[in-house]
Amino acid sequence: MSDQSPARTDELPYQHQPAETEVADARRRTMILVAMCTALVAVIASVSGLNVAQQQLASDLGATQSQLLWVINGYTIALAALLMPIGAIGDRFGRKHILLAGLGVFAVANVLASLATSPAQLIAFRVLAGAGAAMIMPVTLSVITSTFPEAERGRAVGIWAGFAGGGGILGLLSSAILVDNFTWPWLFVGPVALALVAAAFTVRFVPHSKEHSEGRFDVGGSLLSALAVGGLVLGIHEGPEVGWTSGVALLGLLVGVASLIGFVVWERRQEHPLLDVRVFSNRSLAAGSLGLTVSFAIIMGLFLVLVQFLQAVLGYSAVRAAVGLLPMIAVMMPLSAAATGMAQRFGLRVMMTAGNIATAAGLVLLALMASADGGYWPILPGILLLGLGMGLSMSPGTAAITASLPEEKQGVASALNDTVREFGGAVGIALIGSVLSAGYASSVSGATAGLPAEAAAVVEEGIGGAFAIAPSLGEQGPAVLAAARTAFVDGWQFSMWLSAALAIAAAVFTAAWIPRHRTATSLVALDAPDSTTTPELVAAG
């Protein structure tokens, strides 16, 4: 061990060097960015795309509600679980090779999914597509960090972050249009087309890059990370649907927590770990991870409840509901591209704190202004403020995470960033959805007192059940629907207040934790290491 003093916890543990694969030609860099964002949108859009086709899937394939849940969640769980190991494989064996292989697996899996004739086949092909997506998503960011020069890296990653945040809405909108006009197999055409375009651009413009790696590949850390993330995401997804005390949810959470503890213990003992867990002592990394977790918890949970509000309460079609979300990404995406430059001027702490405060303000407006008969315009200011808050905080948060690891570990850094996003999204959907459901059930119970027990149970399960059973209730039907709409708004308000509290807590943490002087001078240089940096930690990174 070195006799030098340990690294300060608020500094990065190594000195970044320019990547050997930096591309000098500006046009080629633009084409690389187009390729990576195209591949990213294919992956992100596939997360939410099938949500709008559940009724068709149930009718055509005879899928049960549990099977429909696995059609949607199987993709997400496979994606989240494999991000860290595959990110490291890309660093070691070649990012371009892994990306092209992933695009191929993803495209083939989506073609097969479009031809599925049973729920079991569709679930299997969706899991395969998730595995392909895990080969794509972390590499898209690590290719950008390794090919763009430091002066342009922040803006490029900001654009990437904007597409990462807006891709879900774009996928929801395109899927709604297709479902309204075609059948569900057509939902897979878009992801396949995007994958083919991204592959063509990758072959033409993306350079081969892999990093020199000391020691053997960390197989144990890879397996533990997959079990930890996969188990936690599985448990969080299943809990609200089948009950937190159900066997599947409990098993997932127990395996996830045990594997996470095992991962930390294992990695601290490895000479060449998959992820040196000591980087979490870096304040910028900790704040960036928390900020992205909260941002994606809110944005994914909000997609769930806002689309339901627009459709069930305001009576919008699926397409019109998706269009209602576009103002958010119209603010968020261009602001994300500029946010890293703003962070260089104003500081990481200011940007992330301001972003969380703006997000909280938007959620408060949504809680106060939403009503069963107020329409869309009263909630539009809240939607715009949410776009502002997400745009201010997401790309600086991504920069803080990718800056935590050196160039030879950028695949792992990118995978860590993506894992934080996926985990945050799973938590948000589960938490915000559960709060909404609880608030709805509590509020609507008074209107079901005079109904038959079976009908009352259906109404109390959710507003979708109320719409399904209302036609059979005769004269009571309109009153039940009106009560269900009001109850949904009550549950909506509970979920918005909870989300606002999370955003405020994140703002307090970033304001207190990130040092005042910390600035985002570039994607990979948020902090300037000093002479106290520990050589052993450099080697372990």
207 class by beta-carbon count within 10 Å (0-12 exposed, 13-18 middle, 19+ buried): middle
Cα 503 from Cα 385, distance rounded (Å): 13
Q: Closest by alpha carbon to 258, among 234, 287, 225?
A: 225
Listed in sequence order, the residues at least 6 apart from 531 whose beta carbon sits closer than 8 Å to its beta carbon are: none
Instruction: Tell whether the model's pLDDT for residue 527 goes beyond 60.
Output: no
Cα 202 from Cα 32, distance rounded (Å): 7
Q: What is the dihedral of CA 262, 266, 267, 273, to 10 degrees?
A: -130
| Reported confidence tier of residue 6, pLDDT bands at 50, 70, 90 | very low
378-385: average pLDDT: 94
Instruction: Tell whether the model's pLDDT for residue 533 goes beyond 50.
Output: no
Tokens 């930096």 — which residue?
A: 22
Q: Closest by alpha carbon to 312, among 217, 410, 436, 409?
A: 436
Domain 17-212 is found in CATH 1.20.1250.20: yes
Q: pLDDT at position 405, please?
A: 67
Listed in sequence order, the residues at least 6 apart from 57 whose beta carbon sits closer than 8 Å to its beta carbon are: 50, 63, 68, 71, 119, 122, 184
389 class by beta-carbon count within 10 Å (0-12 exposed, 13-18 middle, 19+ buried): buried
Q: Please report the sign of the dihedral spanned by the C-alpha atoms of residue 69, residue 75, residue 76, residue 81.
A: positive
| Reported confidence tier of residue 214, pLDDT bands at 50, 70, 90 | low
* Tokens found for residue 193: 């087309």
At 233-247, the pLDDT tens digits run: 888 888 877 778 888
Instruction: Tell whether the model's pLDDT for residue 15 goes beyond 60.
Output: no
DSSP assignment of 342-384 equals HHHHH-HHHHHHHHHHHHHHHHHHHHHH--TTS-SGGGHHHHH
Cα 93 from Cα 216, distance rounded (Å): 12
At 155-210, the pLDDT tens digits run: 898 899 888 888 888 888 888 888 888 888 999 999 999 999 999 999 999 988 76
At 417-476, the pLDDT tens digits run: 888 888 888 888 888 888 888 888 888 887 777 777 788 888 887 787 788 788 888 788
Task: Return the ∠ at Cα 490 (arms to 484 and 492), rounded to 5°.
Answer: 100
pTM: 0.82
Q: What is the dihedral of CA 199, 201, 207, 212, to 10 degrees?
A: -30
Tokens 């559960």 — which residue?
A: 434
Cα 66 from Cα 70, distance rounded (Å): 6
Tokens 């390729």 — which residue?
A: 35
Q: Which residue has the higher pLDDT, 447 or 86?
A: 86
**Helix (H/G/I), strand (E/B), else coil: 477:** helix
Q: pLDDT at position 201, please?
A: 96
* Domain 278-541 fold: Growth Hormone; Chain: A; (1.20.1250)
- Helices H / strands E in the chain, number of each: 19, 0
At 357-381, the pLDDT tens digits run: 999 999 999 999 988 888 899 999 9
Q: pLDDT at position 404, please?
A: 67
Polymer length in residues for the chain: 541
